[in-house]
Structure 1
Amino acid sequence: MGNTLYCTAFSGVKVVANGSLQHVVITVKDALNDRDLTQLLIFDDSTGKPIDVDLRGNTDDVLQRLEDQLGDSAGTEENHQPARRVGRPKLGVVSGEVTLLPRHWEWLKSQPGGASVTLRKLIDEARHAGEQQSTIRASQEAAYTFMTAVAGDFHQYEEALRALYAGDLDRFYHFIDDWAPDIRNHVKKLAAHAFPEENL
């Protein structure tokens, strides 16, 4: 599969459809009348952001406009690989310039495998250490964006946001417990990676 855009459509506080954007469009066009469609909100499942979809006309019209607007990202996309270069790039090696102080070079040269191997290891370790924090931030932002759009006037909304950013899973779930079930469940889905592992 390519960059399929997954989303969830809400009519009021109820989920009407979820899945790929095309699937959601086809489902809501079949299920809702024109008046209800004007109240519909569609959210990107990866970011929590609303997606602006022009639902006027028949289903084919809507799908055609989406294709024109989003290209293949609304559905599937073939992976177009860049042309391979001859020689070492087969290994994914890219040359570049690194400026270090003499003491850094001395230390790197003394490591097993030499400077290049040691630098690659250090970078991989740093990337791995940062991955969880990046995942947490992205999940927090998705939940926050969706909550702000649909739940800003819900009971204990601000308390729930504070618990979300404090990484307090139990308090977060407590504050959203009496929200409309579909809203609450979607918030939980978006916030699934928003808490440090030790809280899960």
Structure 2
Amino acid sequence: MSSPAPESTLTAFAGFRRIASGPRAEVIAKLRKLRRHAEDAAPFVFDDATGDRLDLDLRHGPAPAAAATPSEEQTARSVGRPRLGVVAREVTLLPRHWEWLGRQPGGASVALRRLVDEARRVHAGRDAERGAREATYRFMTAIAGDLPGFEEATRALFAGDRSRFDGLVAPWPQDLRTHLHKLAAAAWSAAS
């Protein structure tokens, strides 16, 4: 069985100023506390792992569940082996692929799982680099899309040109730059 996914961390901005960062529950609690004392516009909240902007319910009361509980997920599914975490989905392959998979020890499912696990291991660094670039891009687009040098900074990010990226975002607000560097850290690992 796989280990549980680490709790996601969030970062909240009011304009270009970082006002909260940390585990989801802590950020929501801090934002609720800040909301009581100010009637400012709602902050922008981002998932640090994906760079996605989140729309959180900051009304007081228990925090809404992020996803369905495992029992709800298992009830909805009738195919696969829920106790083992196996989920049935459709895969479209050419006949020669199905023939090859059928000749593998353990059958098609075992062979596919083995191939996916091997690819994940071999390409882990490249996947982490791509994920960091995509998360940085999503964050930049949502909060800094109108800043000078945005398009060139985006090009430098995807080209893996760290020094150019750093130079282009240097005039941007400090909290924004700091968060960009945090998100993009893994994007430069292979390029360094």
What TM-score, normalized to structure 1? 0.67
| Matches of 2:98 and 2:184, distance apart in 1 | 39
Tell me the percent identity: 34
Kept in 2, the 8 Å contact 1:48–1:145? The answer is yes
Shift of 1:34: 4.3
Instruction: Indicate the residue corresponding to 2:145 in structure 1.
Output: 152
Shift of 1:149: 0.5
Q: Please give the secondary structure, in 2, of the residue aligned with 1:99.
A: helix
Kept in 2, the 8 Å contact 1:15–1:182? The answer is yes
Q: Please give the secondary structure, in 1, of the residue aligned with 2:18.
A: strand
Instruction: Indicate the residue corresponding to 1:54 in structure 2.
Output: 57
Aligned length: 159
Q: Structure 2 vs 1, CA of residues 15 and 131 (structure 1 numbering), >3 Å: closer, same or farther?
A: same
Q: Please give the secondary structure, in 1, of the residue aligned with 2:54.
A: coil
Shift of 1:195: 2.5
Equivalent residue letter for 2:39: R
Out of 41, 47, 53, the residue aligned to residue 44 of structure 1 is: 47
Cα RMSD of the aligned pairs, angstroms, is 3.1
Q: Please give the secondary structure, in 1, of the residue aligned with 2:21.
A: strand
**1:128 maps onto 2:121 in alignment:** yes
| Matches of 1:23 and 1:2, distance apart in 2 | 18
Kept in 2, the 8 Å contact 1:13–1:182? The answer is yes
| Matches of 2:27 and 2:50, distance apart in 1 | 17
| Matches of 1:2 and 1:165, distance apart in 2 | 27
Equivalent residue letter for 1:99: E
Shift of 1:139: 0.7
Give a deviation string over 1:71-123, Cα, whole Å, max 9, x none.
489xxxxxxxx646xxxxxxxxxxxx9634xxxx8xxxxxxxxx86xx89x94
Equivalent residue letter for 1:48: G
Give a deviation string over 1:36-78, Cα, whole Å, max 9, x none.
2x3311110101111111223x3xx2xx2x334x1489xxxxx
Out of 161, 168, 172, the residue aligned to residue 175 of structure 1 is: 168
What TM-score, normalized to structure 2? 0.69
Q: Please give the secondary structure, in 2, of the residue aligned with 1:134.
A: helix
| Matches of 2:46 and 2:119, distance apart in 1 | 33
Instruction: Indicate the residue corresponding to 1:22 in structure 2.
Output: 25
Instruction: Indicate the residue corresponding to 1:194 in structure 2.
Output: 187
Kept in 2, the 8 Å contact 1:7–1:45? The answer is yes
Shift of 1:172: 0.9
Equivalent residue letter for 1:35: E
Gaps of 5+ in 1: 74-81, 85-96, 106-114
Kept in 2, the 8 Å contact 1:135–1:193? The answer is yes
